[in-house]
């Protein structure tokens, strides 16, 4: 039987984001950001993608702060999921979310945004709760 192949979904840079250390106000990392702000984009997220660069991120935008919960269904890349308050402050993060796992990964408090980056980068970059993400 012929195998079905889907076209690789390419990354679309829609904004530039900056992770900022709260204590020093230094920029920890500059990211190319793809924005998911429609129901379809939010539900699809990074599903079906097979690669992602260290300077790429997907930002999920919700209408208001709420308890957010993500899972890794159909997601082939291990990720760090960073939950952000309305002002961009990090509420909590989930490190090394396992590909294809349907376990719910909730935020530790109300969040309006979720930022997905490659697994291991939150630790590598020394991110802490209270650090800030801004984008333009």
Q: For 10-58, what is each residue's pLDDT tens digit?
A: 889 999 999 999 999 999 999 999 999 999 999 999 988 889 999 999 9
- Closest to 41 measured CA to CA, from 122, 127, 114, 133: 114
Q: For residue 129, what are the contacts with CB-CB under 8 A and spacing of at least 6?
A: 90, 91, 92, 93, 108
Give the pTM.
0.92
């Amino acid at each position: 039987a012929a195998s079905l192949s889907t076209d690789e979904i390419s990354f679309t840079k829609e904004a530039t984001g900056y992770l900022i250390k709260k204590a020093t106000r230094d920029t920890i990392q500059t990211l190319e950001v793809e924005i998911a702000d429609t129901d379809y984009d939010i539900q699809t997220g990074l599903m079906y993608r097979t690669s992602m660069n260290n300077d790429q991120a997907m930002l999920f935008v919700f209408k208001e702060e709420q308890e957010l919960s993500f899972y890794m269904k159909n997601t082939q890349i291990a990720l760090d999921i960073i939950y952000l308050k309305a002002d961009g402050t990090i509420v909590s993060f989930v490190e090394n979310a396992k590909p294809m796992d349907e376990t719910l990964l909730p935020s530790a408090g109300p969040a309006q945004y979720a930022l997905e980056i490659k697994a291991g980068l939150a630790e590598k970059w020394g991110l802490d709760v209270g650090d800030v993400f801004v984008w333009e």
